[in-house]
Chain A
Amino acid sequence: MRIFHQPKFDFLGIKWYCITGSIVFTAIGLLSLVVKGGPNFGVDFTGGAQLIYGFSSQPDENQIRKVVESAQVKVDSVQRFDRAEKNQVLLRVPMEKKEGRDLSKEVTAALTKAFFPQASAGAFDLNLNGADALLAKLIVDDPEKLAAKPNADPKADYGRIAQSIIDARSRMGLFKTVDDAAKVQGIAPVTGAWLKEKAVAGPFTLLSAENVGPQVGKDLREKGALAVFASWAAMLAYIGLRFRSVSFGTAAVVALVHDTLFTLGLCSILNTEISLTVVAAFLTLIGYSVNDTVVVYDRIRENLQKSRREPLPSVVNRSINETLSRTILTSGLTFLVCIALFFLGGEVLRGFSFVMIVGIIVGTYSSVFIAAPLVIVWEEWKSKKAGQNAAPAAASSPKGKPAKAK
C-alpha cells in the first residue's frame, strides 16, 4: 500500500501563500496572548493551590464555593473534574502573598464543618485520614490487645491492617459507610467492631493537593522559559553544524519557533492551561518538529551531491516530494498515538496530548511548507543582494559529506 507513488507536487510554487498564512495565524495567536496578558499558566507557574476532592454523592459546586469562601479562603474556581459520575471537584485557590499557608488543611476543615457536622472531635474520619494516622490510632487504642501478647509486633501487624483498609478505599474511591472498611478481608471482628465504634466515613476525600508558593512558581516559570530558549539554541547549533550552513540552520529554527509560537497561540485562544507537563510537551514538540525538517534537509543534501547541475529550487522540491510518504506516515502514526492518549489517557495528560497533537500537525506542515522553502527564499535574497542573477549559487548550501553509513 502506498499513500503517494512518486509524487511531483510543486511545494515551492505556493511558498509565499504558506509563509503569509503562517505569519497571519501565528500573529493571531500572539495577539490573543497579548490581549489575555500572557499564557494561561497553571498553578505550577502562578503559585496558588489546586485541590481535587472526591465526593460520595453529586457535589454542589456553588455550595462548595460558598463554604470555602466563608472560611476566609479566596476561590478562583470550582469545577467538576474528570467524568461526571466520579463526583470529583477541582478547586483553585489564588496565590497567597505570604509563603507557607496550609490551604489544603484550611479548605478540608471548612468542608468538613459544612458537609459533615456530625463528625465529633474524637471520631476518626476514614476518608480523610491515611494509613499512617490510622496506624497511630490503632496502636494507641489497641483493639486486638496486641501489646499484651508476647509474640505480637503491634506496629507491623496494625500497619498491615491499616494499609489494607486504605488500599480498599483506593479501589472503591471512598468508603460509603464504616461497614465498607470493617468488611475488608483480613480484618478481625474486634477491629471491625472498633472501627464501627470509633471511626466514621465522611462524605468526601482529598484526592490530590498542589500548593505552590510564589517563589517556587517564579522559579519554574524562569526555568521553563529558559529550557525552551536553550533547546531552540541547541537545535540551531546542531543543524548549523551538521549541515554547515547558516541558511539551513536559520530556516529550521524559524520553522521551529513558528511551531512553538503557533501552538502557544492556539493554547491561548482555546484557554488551555499551561502546566508543567504541558511545557514538557512543548519541549518534546521542539525536538519532534525538527525531526521532520532534518529528514527533508538530509535528502536535499544528498540530492545536491548527486546532481550538481540541477538548480537548488528544483532539488529542494524534489527532495520534499521524495520524503513526502515518510513524512506523512510517521506523523500520522505519532498522531494516532497522541489521539489515543488524548481520549484515553485521563484528565492529567489531556493538555499534554493536546499540545502534542497540534504540534505534530503544525510541525509536519512547517517542515514541508516553511522550513525547506525558506532556504530558497534566503538563498535567492542573498544572490540578489550579491548582484548576481537568479542562478542558484550553492555558495552556502550544505558542504557536509552525506551521512556516513557504517
Chain B
Amino acid sequence: MKRSTGWRVALTLAVLIGSIAAYWWRGHEALKRSPTAPPDPTLSDVLKNGLKLGLDLRGGIHLVMQVKTGDALRVEAQDAAEHLKDEARKRGVNVGTLPPATAEGFTIQLSEQTEPSKLKELCKSALSQTDWQIDERGREWKVSLRTPAKMQIEDQSVRQAVETIRNRVDALGVTEPVIQRQSTDRILVQLPGVDDPSRVKEIIGTTGLLSLTLVDDKGGPYGSQEALLQAYAGAFPAELEIVEGFNEDSESRIRTPVFYGLKRAAAVTGRDLKNARVGHDKYNQPAVEFFLNAVGAEKFGRVTGENIGKRLAIVLDRRVQSAPVINGKIESNGIIEGNFTADKAEALTLVLRSGALPAEMIVLEERTVGPSLGLDSIKQGVLASVVGMLLVFVAMVVYYRLAGVNAVLALLLNAVFLLGAMAWINATLTLPGIAGFILTIGMAVDSNVLIFERIREEIDGGKAPLNGVDIGFKKAFGTIIDTHVTTISAAAFLFQFGTGPVKGFAVTLVIGLLASVFTAVFVSHLLFDLFYRSQEKVEAISI
C-alpha cells in the first residue's frame, strides 16, 4: 500500500495536541478565576478544572421564578388615581370617591355633586390618552390601562426584576451566575456553588419594598382587625389601609400580631434610599440602619417635623416592622428593628441596597444540590465510566486481536477529542453528561465493529488482506453516516426538551458521536496503513 500517510499523521496529531491544549488552557483559566484556588495549582488541579461542572455535580441552586406583574400594574393604577385626585383638588373638581386600585385599573364613583363634563375634562388632561381608557357607565367610571401600556409595564417590571436580582446576586459574590428571562414573566436563576437555598431564596425573593408611613391618629395598633374597625365606628376611611405588624414582649420576646390603620400614601419609600447597613437596636440586637438621599431627607424632614407626637410606621414588604412615636424632626436616617439575627440583618441590608423588586416573586421550580451529593455523583460516574470503557476495550481486543488494539486506540483518541472539544466550547459537564460520555464510547465502537465485520467479510470473500481493509472502510462508510444521523437527530430533540442536566447529556453525546466518525474512520484507517505499510508483503492481518 503506497498511500501517503504524512498529512494524515499530521492532522491526527494536530487534533490530538489541540484537544489537550484546549483542555489545559481551560483548566488554567478556570483556576485563575476561582477565588478559592490554591496559589500553586498542581497537575491534578488543572485536570479537575478543565470542564465546567453543572449544578448537579458542583452543587448549586436552580430557580425558576415568576414575577407577579399584577403588583406592578396595581401600583401604576394607584399612582394614576392619586395623581387624578391631586389634580382634582388643585382645580376644584369634585371627583366623588376612588376605591383602592386593582391590577385591572381603578373606578371613579361619581357623587351627587360631580359634573361629568368637568370630570371628563380633568381625566383627559391628567391621564395620558395613549395609556388609559375610560369606560363611562352611569355613575361609575372604570379607568383601565390599554393593552400596549399594560404590556409595556409588565415587560418593564420583569426587566427591572432581572436587573435587581442581578444586583443582589453580584452582592452575594457568586461566580458565573445565570440570570435569564425565560418567557414573558419567568426568570431563570442558576447559582453554581451556592449551598444555602433558604438564604438565597430570601435574598432574591424578598421584594424589599420599604416605606415610611404615618399611622392615623386613631390607627392603633389594635390587637385585632375588628377592634381597629370598631375604632372608626364602621366608617373606615378610604385613604387609610390596614397593615399587619407585631408586638413584641420585651421580656419573653414573644410576638403577637397587631393591626395598624396607616395612610395609604407613604411619606418616603425605598426609592429615596441611599444606603443601608447593619446596626443595633435598643436591646443591642442586630438591626438595619438606613440613610435617605437628599430628596428623601427633605420629604422625611417635613413629614416628621409636622407630625411630632404621632406614630410613624416603618413598613417592609407590607408588614409593619415598628411604629415609633416621632419625637422630633428626623431627616436623613432611621433604623429598622425586627429581632433580626446577624445574618438576617445582613441579608436585609443587601436587599435594601440593591433596590426593591417591582413586584412580588414566586418560586415555580427549585432544584438544589448540595456539594457532597455532587462529589458522590462525580466519583460514581467516573468509576462507572472507567469500568465501562475497560470492559469495551477488553472485549474488542479479545474479539479482534490486533485490530481490536487499533479500535482501542481510536476510542481513547475519541475520548480525548471529546474532552478537548467540551473544554474548548466551554460546555457544561452534568451527571447525565457523564453517562453520555460513556454511552458515546459504547456507541462509537459500533463504527469500528461495522468496519471490521466488513473487512472480515471481504477477506472471507477472497480479497487480498490490505485490499479487504480498504474496501471494508469504503463500504462501511455510508452505513456509519446513516447510523450517526439517526442517533444525533434523536439527541437534537433533547436540546429543546431538556433542562440543564439533560442538555449536558445531549451535548456530550453529539460531540462524542461526531468525534467518533473521525476516529473510527479516518484515524483507524490510518493506523492500519501505518502498521502494515512497512511490511513488504502482507499475508494476513490480525482481525
Contacts and interface: CB of A to CB of B under 8 A. Distances in A.
Interface of A: 1-2, 6, 52, 54, 99-100, 102, 104-105, 108, 121-122, 129-133, 136-137, 139-141, 155-156, 159-160, 163-164, 166-167, 169-171, 173-174, 205-213, 215-216, 220, 223-224, 226-227, 230-231, 234-235, 238-239, 242, 276-277, 279-280, 283-284, 286-288, 290-291, 294-295, 298-299, 302, 322-323, 325-326, 329-330, 332-334, 336-341, 343-346, 348-349, 352-353, 356, 402-406
Interface of B is mostly: helix
A140 B493 contact: no
Contacts of B460: 6
Interface string B466-503: 00000000110111011101111111011011110110
Contact of A136 (B36, B347, B384, B493): B347
Interface string B413-455: 0000000000000000001101100110111011001100100
B375 A349 contact: no
B49 interface: no
Interface of B: 35-36, 56, 59, 64, 66, 172-173, 194-201, 278, 286, 341-343, 345-347, 362-377, 380-381, 383-385, 387-389, 391-392, 395-396, 398-401, 431-432, 434-435, 438-439, 441-443, 445-446, 449-450, 453, 456-457, 460, 474-475, 477-479, 481-483, 485-491, 493-494, 496-499, 501-502, 505-506, 509
A239 B482 CA distance: 9
Contact of A231 (B35, B367, B493): B493
Contact of B493 (A2, A164, A234): A234
Given A280-B498, A333-B395, A205 B363 contact: no
Given A159-B173, A284-B491, A333-B442, A341 B342 contact: no
Contacts of B385: 340
B377 A348 contact: yes
A105 B195 CA distance: 13
A322 B479 CA distance: 14
B439 A131 contact: no
**B173, B389, B502, most chain A CB atoms within 10 A:** B502
A346 B438 CA distance: 14
Given A121-B341, A287-B488, A338-B442, A298 B395 contact: no
B317 to A, nearest CB: 15
A160 B450 contact: no
B487 A288 contact: yes
A336 B66 contact: no
A45 to B, nearest CB: 12
27 contacts: A2-B456, A102-B363, A104-B366, A136-B342, A140-B286, A140-B343, A160-B36, A173-B372, A211-B365, A213-B364, A231-B489, A238-B486, A287-B490, A291-B443, A291-B446, A291-B487, A294-B483, A294-B486, A299-B479, A330-B450, A333-B445, A334-B439, A334-B443, A336-B391, A338-B388, A404-B478, A406-B474
Contacts of A230: 493
Contact of B372 (A207, A341, A348): A207
